[in-house]
Amino acid sequence: MDRVDIGFIGVAITIALILFRIPVGIVLATVGFVGIALLTSLKASWSIAANVPFELIGDWNLSAVPMFLLMGFLASEAGLTRGLFKAARIFLGRIPGGLASATVVASALFAAASGSSVATAASFSRIAIPEMLDAKYDRGLACGSVAVSGTLGALIPPSILMILFGIFAEVSIGKLFLAGVLPGLLSALVFILLITVRVWLNPDLAPRTTLTVTREERIEAILDIWPLPLLILLVIGSIFLGIVTPTEAGALGALIAMIIALFRRALTLRIFSRAVTDTIAGTASIFVVIVGASVFARFVALSGMAGALTDLLAFAIERPVLLIVLTSVIYIFLGMFLESVSLMLLTLPLLLPLYNVAGIDLIWFGVICVKLLEIGLVTPPVGLNVYVIKGALGDRVNLGEIFRGTAWFLAADLVTLALLIAFPTISLLLPMLSK
């Protein structure tokens, strides 16, 4: 058995173990360790396993992970995201399918603060879906709009997936953040357009609201949510202007969130302690996966799989768009079974060498990659956001209704993906304009 065969067998075993729900970090580290031992020696494998955590965790860029997690937890725990759906409903409630469109807008803002698709889906499952169901909205439309809106947390910065991609691809995390802004807004706009057109063609999907809003209520809604847009603009704007690095932006965001919470008298010692505890737990779980993925990446490199894949896909490397399309098919298929972090860290060691040889801009690929991971969050049978909604609502909805509701939005996502592939400028404009 040659080195490449060992590499492909290792990848197959890894996918199988992940499908059996064994923790991803442990699977990647174990397969990588055993694979390196088979390719070299047990002593070399121990040496790599011992050095990787120190080399990787010492990477300054990884400091952005706990900083942005802390910012998101502070914003959520202190109630800075509480009035988002109410405000969006006030301003969008009268357009066709207004409550569903309001969910998309509120989710986009919440995602920009939390950086978490799952947290976004969990929050709006309890806030938006009951209100839409009470308003006699189609159950599939109500659940589907929340499921796909939650995925915006992966693309709209700050995004943990963007940070991980930047570290493994060795590209600027700041530029990745900026590259995700327009695609994230485009995704939200396409969702709103889909909702509006569907309800306009079939009013039974979402009865018109009789909500009347006074000027005072509009002003009150703006005053209630102003801290969150301000926080997002300061963080993204400081990166765009080159004032701070992504890690410093995370620290700045956490500080601003804390100051705003104190100003609004919403920050207590209990809330602060809970936010810090959640940040530590979230950071630890992410770092375990990162360390495992790094060991696994070294195994893939030693096996020579990258060279074999380059030879196998030589026809696609000469046609960048074809390579992107093949990657999309692989990600959409694997996304049906693997969650986003696992899928990305499993595939990047195999795909990055191909993209480097093809000369494709890795910032652009990063946006495409994260968009594909978004799609995987709502595709059956393992659409994580779908199960989050089911867990939050219990017997009030069933899985079939949620998956049925996401089907239309998946079609919209594919349209957005096609636009991002056809027009790379959508992703690359802000990074090119930044300092």
> Which of 58-62, 144-148, 300-304 is the most confident on average?
144-148
- Structural contact between residues 388 and 125, judged by C-beta atoms closer than 8 angstroms: yes
Q: Quick one: DSSP state of residue 382?
A: -
Please tell me the predicted confidence (pLDDT) of residue 382. 65
Distances (CA, A) of 120 to 85, 154, 352, 366: 12, 10, 30, 22
pLDDT tens, position by position, 173-212: 889 989 998 999 999 999 999 999 999 999 888 887 766 7
Distance CA 259, CA 253 (A): 10
Give the pLDDT confidence of 216-233 residue by residue, as tens digits: 777 777 777 777 788 888
Q: Where are the domains of the chain?
A: 3-433
Give tens-digit pLDDT for 76-121.
777 766 677 777 777 776 788 888 888 888 888 777 776 667 777 7
Among residues 254, 202, 277, 243, the alpha carbon closest in space to that of 68 is found at: 254
Closest CA to 153 of 176, 190, 180, 173: 180
Digit-coded pLDDT (tens) for 4-15: 888 888 888 888
Distance of alpha carbon 203 from alpha carbon 89, whole angstroms: 18
Measured between alpha carbons, how far is 147 from 122 in angstroms, rounded to an integer?
Answer: 9
Q: Which residue has the higher pLDDT, 29 or 395?
A: 29
pLDDT given at position 120: 75
Confidence bin at 367 (pLDDT 50/70/90): very high
pTM for the whole structure:
0.83
What pLDDT, on the 0 to 100 scale, is given for residue 263?
A: 81
Q: How many residues does the chain have?
A: 435
